[in-house]
Amino acid sequence: MAIFADKKTRVLIQGITGRDGSFHARQMLEYGTQIVAGVTPGKGGQRFDDSVPVFDTVDEAVQAEGATASVIYVPAAFASSAICEAADSGISLIVAITEGVPVLDMLRTVRYVSDRGARLIGPNCPGLISPGQTKLGIIPGQIAAPGPVGVVSRSGTLTYEVVSALTRAGYGQSTCVGIGGDPIIGTNFIDCLDAFEVDPQTEAIVLIGEIGGSDEQEAARHIKEDLSKPVVGFVAGRTAPPGRRMGHAGAIISGSQGTAAEKIATFRENGVEVAERPLEVPDFIASALGG
């Protein structure tokens, strides 16, 4: 099985005719993702790569093709409106790849999506992949393989590195989710941990955090109190200087709050093994799975 998306998920791409949208739509199609429609206002009636119908609105695409998930590749200025349009049209899973979305826009948008019963992943995220079934976003399909390890991460690049290391070591994945590193996101660590906990395919979980905020600390306490499956952690940014943003908008240390050392200590206090380097994660997973 998988969490959030599988081979039955019917996907539409908002911004399918743009540079990024078209490139990644082809990658997803090649992987086997069931892309049933694209949306670009003003280009309705066209076909993408002679196979995927393009519509002017998400509602038209949902009505005509039965899409249940949307992947968003539209400019930051329009991303919030695109997310809300998808939620209004009955889409249950929205994956926003777009980066640079204003925080104030996301404060309103996250509540709007939640009120309509949809799940938002992102923005500023690499999306998700359920290996051998589907991928929604930009995670390279060739680095992943089906298996028992769930992966959730704030960092796109570290997601790729850890997933690749797991695959090389023979530990495939159930689903890999990049939740995004912005201050306001739709799906957090705890949401993914809970989904992995009830997924019968997932036997162990990798959580990849980074400096900034307190999401990792909250996740650590949740793991101790509510999860039965083993979790392995990794936290990026051990040498980051206080007050300087490192990559993501949410990755900034304020005083002693949000440091890698603080997060690692909290994980260990709550029984979560923490790898020192990404390439050590497979060894910890081997131990967790009794390998």
Q: Decide: 176 and 151 in contact? Cβ < 8 Å.
A: yes
Q: How distant is the alpha carbon of residue 170 from its chain centre?
A: 22
| Backbone torsions φ then ψ of 226, nearest 5 degrees | -130, -5
Catalytic residue among 83, 248, 259, 275: 248
- CA 108 – CA 216 distance, rounded (Å): 24
- Strand 69-72 versus strand 11-14 pairing type: parallel
- CA 278 – CA 159 distance, rounded (Å): 9
Integer Rg of the chain from CA: 18
Q: Decide: 68 and 93 in contact? Cβ < 8 Å.
A: yes
Return the structure tokens found at 80. 């919030």
248 catalytic per annotation: yes
- Strand 69-72 versus strand 52-55 pairing type: unpaired
Which residues are identified as catalytic? 248
